[in-house]
Amino acid sequence: MNTLYRSMLGGRSGLIGLAILAGLLLIVFPLLLEPFRLNMMGKYLSLAFVAIALVMCWGYGGIMSLGQGLFWGLGGYCMAAFLKLEAARNIASEAGTDQIKALSTVGLPDFMDWNQITELPWFWYPFKSFPLTLALMIVVPTVIAYIIGTAMFKRRVGGVYFAIITQALCWAMEILFVTRQGWTGGINGITDLRTLLGWDIRTPSAQSSIYFMTVVGILVCIVLGRWLLNSKFGRLLVAVRDMEDRVRFSGYDVANLKTTVFCIAAAMSAVGGAFFVLNVGFMSPKLVTIEPSIYMVIFCAVGGRMSLIGAVYGTLAVSYGRTFFSEEFPALWYFLMGSVFILVTMVFPDGLAGAATRGVPAAWRWLTRNFREPPPAPATAAVKEAQP
Amino acid sequence: MIYPHFALELEELTVSFDGFKAVNGVTLYVSKDELRVIIGPNGAGKTTLLDLICGRTKPTDGKITFMDKTLTRLPEQEIVRAGVVRKFQTPSIYPKLTVFENLEISHPKGRTAFGAIFFRRTSDVVDRIHEVAKEIYLADLLETEAEKLSHGQKQWLEIGMLLMADPQLLLLDEPVAGMSVREREQTAELLRRICKGRSAVVIEHDMKFVRRIADKVTVMHQGKVLAEGPMDDIEKDPRVVEVYLGH
Ligand SMILES: Nc1ncnc2c1ncn2[C@@H]1O[C@H](COP(=O)(O)OP(=O)(O)O)[C@@H](O)[C@H]1O
Ligand SMILES: [Mg+2]
């Protein structure tokens, strides 16, 4: 029990950090934000899953993936496929409506029908079942991460080369999903998702429930991440990051360690993608490509690449900034983002988390020094006198 | 005829980097319990020889056997698991981890990813860490971050990390480089102590240090073995004086 408290919740200071985050997400935001903004937060939070995953994979393990959108997107597409089939079945049962008259093959997703596909492709079948969908949502990205990891890390591909390869893969996936219109919905993605097991996900009350589910998902990921990082595995990741050869010559299979953390990060990112689909009701290839993947790394860097909780704040801060600036000063945004990234990597490598863990105590000392009663000099004198 | 039983056997070992033979037909036998020192001018191929034994570089030709097990084509971690450990020329430690954690990671328990996730810091692991820390003069610094150690202490820490696995063969590349005179003496003592019941191959330049620790010395020059024998004979060998000791 005591060890679990320390390893999963990070002891007292870890628990305080987690409680503050939980309070903010579960109480403050729902009370203060109007439904539209709260839903936006849910959308941002579904990206925070990737930022948390990157803390483990990049911050600790030193594996910079610039293609994490690939896994996030796969998770999202799995969930979207399930919802789309359910939507198609619902439409099929509403005989006589305009929507059904426009279709030539009833019961198929609309985009398949538009692409002259008359039968459901075989790989869509598993998405008829919800448990299978949930399983595939995790398994597919994990297996792909495993293949990439084994192929790259066994060959000692790392650093910038690995980052570029993940980016290329991400781009390849976008092209694949855009061009295979009949299978994936093409450039528009999978849209018009309505119900999850009969529950209308578009109503305000459903939206707020989904927001809370997303928050719970985030908190679970943080606790899980802490447990992993506080184990010997977590220390090994740091060791691999800083001195890979030493780990190898201590008898470890470094490629295997790297592949494992890359797979865990992929699975976690995929869960985020699925929550995204539930929050917004669609999935699109534009969301899985290079630019969003780079944003994910920025979220992580701004939050502090060694802090799981920081990753969430980083995601919220940058995403909010992006929305705000692109509404108000769209031209400025890219310059601002670029400068923030440079500043964070050069001056504040520990990001917001570093600022909080160092800045807050420093500010506190400064405050207490300047606004408290006169210096405690007499007190020490008294102590000295008291001692024989 | 009785063949002596060797722990490490290198036969006609050769590696060629784009035609340049950094190690060229080296044959070398190290007995169990022996501390062998390799000396030679810079670029002689000493580091490369250790790289070959520990699997960092794959030989173009030749054979490496340790305790009757062929290591020649094994992956690095398998060679370590066969009992062969390596210390690098520049101290390779984990700067952001404490001395304790550095040693803990080097413990052979929990060597797979899942083994590491479910690894528990049991009392036998902790005891072993304290034992090794005492041996390497770092018992009072267990909670210190490794990057804060002095250069000499980092060298010791790396030796300690090797000891955690209770290896059969130690490969040490210039273990006293950058150490003070006092630290050199402590290291010589440390090496004599830890090499009991093990074999060791040590690369070193400091002749005083070599004389203190070596059972036998091998001189390398241009990728080849130039001479081999007890230190006293080596020092008198005119070829060795010519290429190395004369400087
Ligand atoms: N990976 C490599 N590729 C090409 N040349 C190498 C490589 N490793 C070592 N060498 C060369 O092999 C020679 C022997 O190097 P090394 O074993 O480091 O010498 P020593 O440790 O005896 O000073 C040097 O000339 C070095 O430049
Ligand atoms: Mg060398």
Instruction: Let me know if B166 is exposed, middle or buried by CB neighbors in 10 A (0-12, 13-18, 19+).
Output: middle
> Does A231 sit within 8 Å of B94, measured CB to CB?
no
> Does B113 sit within 8 Å of A243, measured CB to CB?
no
Quote the CA–CA distance of A89 and A196 in Å, as a whole number: 12
**Ligand 1 in reach of B22 Cβ (< 6 A):** yes
Residue A231 touches partner B, C-beta closer than 8 Å = yes
**Token pair belonging to A259:** 């592949």
B residues 90..109 contacting A (CB < 8 A) = 92-97, 101, 104-106, 108
> Does B97 sit within 8 Å of A238, measured CB to CB?
yes
Q: Which of A211, A224, A215, A298 has the alpha carbon at shortest distance from A265?
A: A224
Quote the CA–CA distance of A140 and B69 in Å, as a whole number: 41
Low-confidence ranges of chain B (pLDDT < 70): 1-4, 246-247
CA-nearest residue for atom 11, ligand 1, is B22
A residues 259..278 contacting B (CB < 8 A) = 260
pLDDT given for residue A330 in this prediction: 78
B194 and B79 within one domain: yes
B219 and B117 within one domain: no
B195 and B183 within one domain: yes
If you measure CA to CA, which chain A residue comes closest to B165? A250
3-state secondary structure of B65: strand
pLDDT given for residue A96 in this prediction: 62
Cα atoms in the 13 Å half-sphere on the side-chain side of B164: 31
Residue A246 touches partner B, C-beta closer than 8 Å = yes
Residue B86 touches partner A, C-beta closer than 8 Å = yes
Domain C-terminal end among B166, B199, B215? B166
Best probe of the B interface among A63, A224, A241, A249, by most B CBs < 10 A, is A249
B197 and B185 within one domain: yes
**Ligand 1 in reach of B48 Cβ (< 6 A):** yes
B183 and B69 within one domain: yes
B1 and B114 within one domain: no
> Does B94 sit within 8 Å of A242, measured CB to CB?
yes
Best probe of the B interface among A153, A236, A259, A264, by most B CBs < 10 A, is A236
User: Which DSSP string corresponds to A61-73?
Assistant: T----S-THHHHH
Quote the CA–CA distance of B227 and A291 in Å, as a whole number: 62
Residues of B in contact with A239 (CB under 8 A): 94, 97, 105
**Token pair belonging to A206:** 């459903």
Low-confidence ranges of chain A (pLDDT < 70): 1-4, 7-9, 95-106, 370-388
Domain count across chain B:
2
What domain range is B134 assigned to? 92-166
Quote the CA–CA distance of A305 and A349 in Å, as a whole number: 8
Q: Can you count the helices (H) and strands (E) in chain A?
A: 20, 2
B225 and B159 within one domain: no
Counted residue by residue, chain B has a size of: 247
> Does A246 sit within 8 Å of B92, measured CB to CB?
yes
The answer to whether the beta carbons of residues A52 and A218 sit under 8 Å apart is: yes
pLDDT given for residue B133 in this prediction: 95
Residues of B in contact with A249 (CB under 8 A): 54, 56, 76, 80, 85-86, 88
**Ligand 1 in reach of B50 Cβ (< 6 A):** no
B126 and B62 within one domain: no
Quote the CA–CA distance of A7 and B117 in Å, as a whole number: 11
Q: Which of A251, A189, A381, A233 has the alpha carbon at shortest distance from B165?
A: A251
B58 and B9 within one domain: yes
Domain C-terminal end among B145, B166, B187? B166
Bridge partners of B227, per DSSP, are B219
B50 and B109 within one domain: no
**Digit-coded pLDDT (tens) for B96-123:** 999 999 999 999 998 999 999 999 899 9
B191 and B132 within one domain: no
B50 and B103 within one domain: no
Quote the CA–CA distance of A165 and A146 in Å, as a whole number: 14
pTM of this structure: 0.89
pLDDT given for residue A371 in this prediction: 65
Report the CATH number at residue B43: 3.40.50.300
Domain C-terminal end among B125, B149, B166? B166
Which residue in the block uniquely carries the two structure tokens 């592949």?
Answer: A259
User: Which DSSP string corresponds to B153-172?
Assistant: HHHHHHHHHHHHT--SEEEE
Buried/exposed code over A206-233 (b: 16+ C-beta within 10 A; e: otherwise):
ebeebbeebbebbbebbbbbbbbbbbbb
> Does A250 sit within 8 Å of B165, measured CB to CB?
yes
Chain B: give the shortest CA distance to residue A183, in Å.
Answer: 37
Which residue in the block uniquely carries the two structure tokens 């980016």?
Answer: A167
**Digit-coded pLDDT (tens) for A235-271:** 999 999 999 999 999 999 999 999 999 999 999 999 9
Of B106, B112, B119, the CB nearest to A231: B119
Dihedral angle sign, alpha carbons of residues B11, B12, B17, B22: positive
